[in-house]
């Protein structure tokens, strides 16, 4: 990541859905492809999904700009599978777009030496990758 990447103001899009029981099962069949498709769109900086109690799921996606979000909305999978699916799989949904005003270091504890290492951008779950003191690889999320 270079300095110009850190000076950008990424666009955070949060989407939350509540699924019916049958809808959740159908959604889970597509979950990995949803993430793969979103991450494959030019301008997607990060895409994650969080499971919450009550068949609620929150999508957190970070985009370079509004044009990148438009590319996702116009993505064939998004238009033909995902959006029609959500209309039948869900009982509730909401979206919000937020511009990042400030970003702080993400810190991760090293299991080898115990030192906390930090990295920017803070929104990136894959950073820091290695310990700043001993160089050990640091654990990152499995779906990252």
CATH code, domain carrying 46: 3.30.70.100
Judge whether 3 lies within some domain: no
Q: Could you tell me the residue range of the domain that residue 39 belongs to?
A: 10-99
pTM: 0.79
> Are 86 and 131 members of one domain?
no
> Are 36 and 90 members of one domain?
yes
Tokens standing for 140? 């990152």
Q: How many domains does the chain have?
A: 2
> Are 59 and 47 members of one domain?
yes
> Are 76 and 113 members of one domain?
no
Residue given tokens 């919450």 in the structure block: 52
Q: How confident is the model at residue 83, as a pLDDT?
A: 94
Between 142 and 94, residue with greater pLDDT: 94
Q: What is the mean pLDDT of residues 115-143?
A: 86
């Amino acid at each position: 990541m270079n300095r110009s990447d850190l000076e950008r103001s990424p666009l955070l899009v949060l989407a939350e859905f509540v699924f019916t029981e049958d809808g959740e099962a159908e959604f889970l069949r597509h979950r990995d492809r949803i993430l793969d498709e979103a991450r494959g769109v030019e301008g997607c900086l990060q895409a994650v999904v969080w499971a919450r109690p009550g068949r609620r799921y929150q999508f957190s996606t970070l985009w370079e700009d509004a044009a990148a979000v438009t590319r996702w909305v116009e993505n064939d999978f998004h238009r033909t599978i995902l959006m029609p699916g959500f209309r039948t799989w869900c009982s509730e949904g909401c979206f919000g777009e937020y511009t990042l005003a400030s970003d702080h270091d993400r810190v991760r504890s090293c299991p080898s030496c115990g030192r906390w290492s930090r990295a920017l951008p803070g929104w990136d779950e894959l950073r820091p990758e290695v310990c700043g003191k001993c160089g050990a690889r640091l654990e990152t999320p499995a779906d990252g």
